[in-house]
């Protein structure tokens, strides 16, 4: 009787294993870069959401420069540690470099990353940090910065 139950359970088990394996191999898993990255200091705000190969991008500065109709949307690609937003109309450039900052996931503008590597100085206008608990309304350009993000951005 036990062998009979095992024989009937084997096909559903094999189906489950093959679907799980195929999903992992086929790339159905989210890319490790995915999430919401943000920076706001009162003078500038930048928010980037990466999800399923697509991005949404908000930018504001007190100097009045805006990215037009917000959010800007499009697809992205990754080449090594470089994220490429597949649009040419992003004011701060369409490339970011993924590199941790004091244990937090961050996306750096290339010139800010070069400054970090060469002098150990953080250009806070050149780095956005993944929010551990992003809010539902990403269009709020004054999203609060979590204390751990503020601490990471201090030049110490």
Average pLDDT of the chain, as a whole number: 76
Q: What is the pLDDT of residue 69?
A: 75
- Domain of residue 81 covers 35-153
Do 70 and 135 have their domain in common?
yes
138 has a pLDDT exceeding 50:
yes
Contacts (Cβ under 8 Å, ≥6 apart) of 122: 101, 112, 115, 116, 153, 154, 155
Contacts (Cβ under 8 Å, ≥6 apart) of 92: 46, 59, 109
Q: What is the pLDDT of residue 66?
A: 53
Do 45 and 14 have their domain in common?
no
- For residues 99 and 152, the answer to whether their CB atoms sit within 8 Å is no
Do 18 and 48 have their domain in common?
no
Owner of token pair 């250009």: 123
With pLDDT > 70 as the criterion, what percentage of the chain qualifies? 65
Do 25 and 47 have their domain in common?
no
In this prediction the pTM is 0.71
Do 91 and 135 have their domain in common?
yes
């Amino acid at each position: 009787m036990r062998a009979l139950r095992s024989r009937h359970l084997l096909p559903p088990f094999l189906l489950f294993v093959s679907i799980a394996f195929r999903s992992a191999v086929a790339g159905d898993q989210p890319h490790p870069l995915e999430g919401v990255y943000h920076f706001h200091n009162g003078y500038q705000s930048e928010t980037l959401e990466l999800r399923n190969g697509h991005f949404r991008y908000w930018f504001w500065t007190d100097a009045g420069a805006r990215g037009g109709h917000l959010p800007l949307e499009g697809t992205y690609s990754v080449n090594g540690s470089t994220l490429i937003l597949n649009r040419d109309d992003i004011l701060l450039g369409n490339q970011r470099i993924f590199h941790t900052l004091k244990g937090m996931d961050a996306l750096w503008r290339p010139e800010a990353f070069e400054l970090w590597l060469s002098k150990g100085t953080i250009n806070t206008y050149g780095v956005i940090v993944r929010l551990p608990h992003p809010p539902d309304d990403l269009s709020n350009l004054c999203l609060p910065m979590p204390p751990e993000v503020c601490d990471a951005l201090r030049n110490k």
